[in-house]
Amino acid sequence: MAKEKLSIVKIGGNIIEDEVSLKSFLDLFSNLEGKKILVHGGGKRATQVASKLGIESKMVNGRRITDAETLEVITMVYGGLVNKNIVAQLQALQVDSIGLTGADANSIYSEKRPIKDIDYGFVGDVKEVNYQSIDKLIQAGFTPVFCAITHNGKGQLLNTNADTITSQVAIGMSRLYDTTIYYCFELNGVLENINDKNSVIRLIDSTIYKNLLQDGIISDGMLPKLENCFDALKNGVKAINMGNTSMLTKENNNFTTITL
């Protein structure tokens, strides 16, 4: 029997930080048909608030070092300011949303990243997605809105990469649904020529991906994202779309779809 469809949409800091972009995105999201989940980051806003509070933001390899003070800021900004404003705006658009961290409804369990070369602090690696619990909310008619925070089940919140939350939630929900991820970002999609924003590769499957790698077309920045995508696809996610927010409309076909 065919499973019902579920869309999981991820937006990053560039959309969240601009009021007009966010409003425009939420309009598109509200019109997206069927059951859906939103995942958001919140990056720069946390850095700004931390800075105002006199807390220095330390980044290593693009990841935030999360000491206790920084975790408080992240909990305030991601879990409070950003998440609750998105929820309020979605409610105004008749989307009956509910804002969540991974602690809420015990939805995403993670473990503090082990210290190797770098101590990332209170950063969590996702270990288990409680898809039954998330589905209870969906079945009750709610649209979950996740921020980039999880918990370890022992009372500790943990800062967690929003892309990872997206793929892990999608993998979990694939047990119950035909799951499609939409990664909204600045580019129109995966580009054949990084200098030509219109050179979108419309479809990438395993074979095409192999060829793109051999031809050196995948940029260093895109490589981990795509590896992450194929990991999600191998674990049950049906399709992954990458592009700007207008890919949520039926008018725009110029984005990248990734399948196995």
Binding residues for its own copies, rule CB under 8 A, total 44
Q: How far is the CB of 227 from its own copies (least distance, A)?
A: 31
Locate tokens 């408080």: which residue?
72
User: Rule CB under 8 A: is residue 16 a binding residue for its own copies?
Assistant: no
* Region binding its own copies by CB under 8 A among candidate stretches 84-92, 209-217, 233-241, 242-250: 84-92
What three-state secondary structure class fits 51?
A: helix
Q: Which of residues 85-114 bind its own copies (CB under 8 A)?
A: 85, 87-89, 91-92, 96-101, 103-106
How many angstroms separate the CA atoms of 47 and 163, rounded? 19
Residues 110-169 that bind its own copies (CB under 8 A): 133, 136-137, 139-142, 149, 151, 153-157
Paired strand residues for 240: 181, 258
Picking from 177, 165, 141, 157, the residue whose alpha carbon sits closest to that of residue 74 is 157
- Contact between 252 and its own copies per CB under 8 A: no
Work out whether the CA dihedral 108, 134, 234, 13 comes out positive or negative. negative
Report helix, strand or coil for 31: helix
Which is closer to its own copies, CB of 49 or CB of 222? 49
Looking at the chain, how many residues does it have? 260
Q: Binding its own copies by CB under 8 A: which of 7, 83, 160, 241?
A: 83
Nearer to its own copies, 130 or 254 (CB): 130
Residue type present at position 153: G
Alpha-carbon distances, residue 16 vs 10, 11, 31, 36, 147 (angstroms): 11, 7, 18, 18, 12
Measured from the CB atom, is 53 or 223 closer to its own copies? Answer: 53
Query: Is residue 14 a contact point for its own copies (CB under 8 A)?
Result: no
Give the interface with its own copies as residue ranges (CB under 8 A).
49, 52-54, 72, 75-81, 83-85, 87-89, 91-92, 96-101, 103-106, 133, 136-137, 139-142, 149, 151, 153-157
